Structure 1
Amino acid sequence: MNVNFEAPKPEIKVYYNKNSVNKSIVTQVLLGIEEEGLPYSLEEKNNNDGVELAYKAAEVSHLGVGIGIGDSIVLHYIKLKENAPLFSVCLQDDENTLRAIGANAARLVKRMPFKDIGSAK
């Protein structure tokens, strides 16, 4: 009997609402992660709560880092309380801010200083 158990991939999980989020927003966030050289996985969800999406993504990420894109764009870390994400920005923010969220997810993993996010809460 040949059983193959695959270990979870160390990657940042990105969950987004497939019904309400523009793909260009998702692309900018993913580009930020790519610029920092970390792997990610993207999953469509039917939830629009950015905080909840991010927390659930962090829960399943082997790295403990998740991004949720719904009514807002949220970066969460598994060691934080669900209602206290690391960063949260508006969907209407500029491309630099959207990329910075993705880059900061990667920088959290790499333990590097965060990029400035002007409209972060």
Structure 2
Amino acid sequence: MVAPRTLLLGRYDDQGRLHYVGRTTTLARAAGAAVAGLLAPGLRGHPWTGWSFSAAWGSQEKLDVTLVEPELVVEVDVARDASGQWRHPARWHRARPDLSPADVPHLTSPPH
């Protein structure tokens, strides 16, 4: 798999639906290469099939996206506004292959 430059991030809700919650800032080359080895190509029926993602806030340019199986847990740092919304893309911290998505607390309410 090609090393990603950024990651689209999702979390599951209590009904098992995967919600897009944001994306990371640009990954360093070493981080992208390390993550590439932990990703599996997306199978048919990925919940985000057919979606488009903007390249930047307010931009009409679309990201070139490769969907993968939503199995890798990662740690990120986020800045939130008063309503809890992310103010900026998340800063990459590290991959957590020791965890599964089931180990991550579910969203209590879908993002807006």
User: Shorter-chain TM-score: which interval?
Assistant: under 0.3
Greater share of helix:
1
TM-score, normalization: structure 1? 0.24
TM-score normalised over the length of structure 2: 0.25
